[in-house]
Structure 1
């Protein structure tokens, strides 16, 4: 069945001569209009391309011709240009979650927040103001596996495309992460790879740093080592305490998370090994 809409073609694979010409030629043959095209060739000769196009799409026919035209090692995906469905995880801190809720309410998030899940009920009054389902799933008196099984049962109701960890302060097990490969986005309260793990602002204060930062990254099975999507920093000075730094850092965290989500939800992020390519 054909649809009239805007789509994004994502392509990556070994670089070879004429890839852009071949792709744009196939799109032209299908009477599809290219709105924007971005490409990049990495030092190890890996080719990445994001093509935004519009027109009446016959998906299977288009993919079939692209598959016959391009080298077999090329990966192809066609995504509709639409909002992503997400579920947000949080614990007790409100600043990142609040930023996402406000952006969602004013149609600035490029996503639909289907639900918020938390291991505390602290943020339920905040979430209820936005009319979004809130699921309090306590971790107390449960093993980590039991707690995650309960969360998975809730997520099965919504089938989200992405999970967003908005200051969710529990480490997810490999078994849980495997359910959402490259689909969990976390905000870490430091400029990774510095100050991995807990209490990064205390670590930064004790080290006497002159900048603090935040890092949004995909979650994998190595703590705080997933592919980095976005980062930013802010200057600090010796008169500030660890608490002062944490306060300053919260502003950076919520803006970095919002920036990273905008990139991901607009299909601008490729993962290559443990790095991101952003087009």
Structure 2
């Protein structure tokens, strides 16, 4: 029994969907507080996020009732976990991990860090100050397949909703990506699709850009081309060195990744092919 109910739906678009959903929700004596919907006209797909007040005794029954009035193969979720569990993958850079652990410590978002896994041991002491388990899986002297399998095995020892690549500077194999399909979230240090791959700040400096950015996105088999969740930018001047750009970029990376995790933890992100629908209100 809950006093607040969250409903997430995606399906083929059809006439009268909003009315059908509203009437079904009302039949369960739930009061709609917010209802945000979006129609992708090109794909003929309908997305909606409904927040309600009122006591719900049986979420499975509500899901069945909604599916009865929605198009075939509608995806319906009622009351997904309110506090998302995340595993963080790192290499050596600390800025994104530090931001995540501080927010976890002060419970400033709906996400709980279950563990940190790194292919170097540099961030162990810092992580353990927050009483978070740290697992070092060395990639040296191993095949890519062996390293990734160890990492998969370690991650699967935990419950998780998402795996956050907080500057985990490894190109992942299709097997790894498929194992955690729709669960891997990466922070890329450029405003995608510009400067894909390694050393984007050096690429940006060479190109003489006046704006740099960062992108949080789902990971797919296409390098740095997965569905985008959050992006942001900052202006840079002609006299910025590569080091200056890196320093400025780290602040953007932290903010963008934090915003993405917050949106995910509040179930405001819905996948739509290689795009996302973001209900950020």
Q: State the TM-score, normalizing by the size of structure 1.
A: 0.96
- Alignment partner for residue 26 of structure 1, among 24, 27, 38? 24
- 1:1-279 map, 5 Å: 3-44=1-42, 45-54=44-53, 55-80=55-80, 82-279=82-279
Deviation for aligned residue 1:273:
1.5
Partners of 1:7 and 1:80 within 8 A in 2: no
State the aligned residue count: 277
Shift of 1:77: 1.8
Q: Match of 2:148, SS?
A: helix
Extract unaligned runs of 5+ from structure 1: none
Judge which range, 92-101 or 21-30, deviates more. 21-30
1:100-137 CA-to-partner distances (Å, cap 9, x unmatched) read 01111111131110000000000011101100000011
Equivalent-residue separation in structure 2 for 1:134 and 1:5 (angstroms): 37
Gaps of 5+ in 2: none
CA contact (8 A) 2:37 2:46 kept: yes
Matched residue of 1:17: which SS? coil
Q: State the SS of the aligned residue for 2:103.
A: helix
Q: Secondary structure at the match of 2:149?
A: helix
Counterpart contact for 2:214–2:249, Cα < 8 Å: yes
Deviations 1:150-177 (A, max 9, x none): 1111112103111000000001111111
Which whole-Å CA distance do the structure 1 matches of 2:117 and 2:134 have between them?
A: 6
CA distance in 2, matches of 1:4, 1:43: 35
* Inter-partner Cα distance in structure 2 for 1:39 and 1:177: 30
User: Offset of 1:7 from its aligned partner?
Assistant: 3.2
Distance in 1 of aligned mates of 2:74 and 2:221: 27
Runs of 4+ in 1 over 6 A off after TM superposition: none
Does the Cα contact within 8 Å between 1:118 and 1:137 map onto a contact in 2? yes
* Partner Cα separation in structure 2 for residue 61 and residue 72 of structure 1: 17
State the Cα distance separating 1:5 from its structure 2 match: 4.6
Contact 1:81 1:266 in 2 (8 A): no
Deviations along 1:247-274, whole A, 9 cap, x unmatched? 1000000000001111111111111121
Which whole-Å CA distance do the structure 2 matches of 1:6 and 1:179 have between them? 33
